[in-house]
Structure 1
Amino acid sequence: MSTRIYKEVYFDASHRLLHYDGKCARLHGHRWRTEVWLEGTVDPRTQILIDYNCIKKLVEIYDHQVILNADDPMVGCLSEFQDVVVTEGDPTSELLCVLIADQIDEACRMMGLDCRITTVRVWEGATCYAEVSR
């Protein structure tokens, strides 16, 4: 029998879009809302698919971070003062969906859990989100 769970996690982070012509090319921040759906087989002993706190910890690696394209010249400048999360490509909500889904799927594999991401939705604000489904 397959079970599906849902977890919502918020994080605050800044980013900028290097290859964008508009306001988002400037460094700015968001209160990001992340929704995660997983599906699989619960552990027969614990009756848990995956600990909700595990999902939270995996998403919160972005909390209070600056997220930039690896090619962004700001990476070198900011790295002198703080850690910078770098991405292969502009750190859009679309890309963050894929990164978060990949990180959670990998963690499930590493823990030997029979569960996988079905959907990740990343809200960049109250009115817009990106979603990846598997």
Structure 2
Amino acid sequence: MTIRIYKEVYIEASHRLMHYKGKCNRLHGHQWRVEVWAEGETAGDSMILIDYNLIKETVNRYDHEVILNKNDPMAECIGRYQDVVKTDGDPTSELLSERLAAEIQAECDNAGIRATVTRCRVWESTSCYADWER
């Protein structure tokens, strides 16, 4: 029997869209809302598909972080003073939805969890989100 789960996590993080023409070109922050859907078959006595904490802990790696394109000159400058999460491309909600889905899937695979992340939605404000779907 296939089971589907959903988890919602909120984080605070800043980013900058280096290649954007407009105010998002400047370093700024958001309260990001991340929604994750997964499906598969439960295993063992717990009957848990994925521990919700695994999803939360994976997403929380981005909490209170500065997220920048690895080629952004700000990444090196800010990196002298604190850690910077570096992405392959501008850290848009589109890029982050795909990246978080991949990271959560990798955590499941590494733990031997037979589940598939099927969707990851990243909201960067209350009115806009990007939706990655398998």
| Unaligned 5+ runs, structure 1 | none
Q: Secondary structure at the match of 1:97?
A: helix
Is 1:107 equivalent to 2:107 in the alignment? yes
> What corresponds to 1:49 in structure 2?
49
> What corresponds to 2:36 in structure 1?
36
User: How does the TM-score come out when normalised to structure 2?
Assistant: 0.99
After TM superposition, give the deviation of residue 104 of structure 1 in Å.
0.6
Please give the alpha-carbon distance, in whole angstroms, between the structure 1 residues aligned to 2:7 and 2:112: 20
| Unaligned 5+ runs, structure 2 | none
After TM superposition, what 4+ stretches of structure 1 lie above 6 angstroms from structure 2?
A: none
Please give the alpha-carbon distance, in whole angstroms, between the structure 2 residues aligned to 1:113 and 1:100: 17
Please give the alpha-carbon distance, in whole angstroms, between the structure 2 residues aligned to 1:54 and 1:83: 22
Aligned pairs for 1:109-124 within 5 A:
109-124=109-124
> What corresponds to 1:92 in structure 2?
92
After TM superposition, give the deviation of residue 69 of structure 1 in Å.
0.1
Please give the alpha-carbon distance, in whole angstroms, between the structure 2 residues aligned to 1:70 and 1:81: 16
Please give the alpha-carbon distance, in whole angstroms, between the structure 2 residues aligned to 1:94 and 1:127: 15
> What corresponds to 1:72 in structure 2?
72
After TM superposition, give the deviation of residue 45 of structure 1 in Å.
1.4
Please give the alpha-carbon distance, in whole angstroms, between the structure 2 residues aligned to 1:91 and 1:76: 16
User: How does the TM-score come out when normalised to structure 1?
Assistant: 0.99
Number of residue pairs aligned between Structure 1 and Structure 2: 134
CA RMSD of aligned residues (A): 0.5
Is 1:19 equivalent to 2:19 in the alignment? yes
Matching residue's letter, 2:122: V
Q: Secondary structure at the match of 1:48?
A: coil
After TM superposition, give the deviation of residue 43 of structure 1 in Å.
1.3
Deviations 1:17-76 (A, max 9, x none): 010100000000000000000000011311000100110000000000000000000011
Percentage of matched positions with identical amino acids: 57
Please give the alpha-carbon distance, in whole angstroms, between the structure 2 residues aligned to 1:54 and 1:44: 17
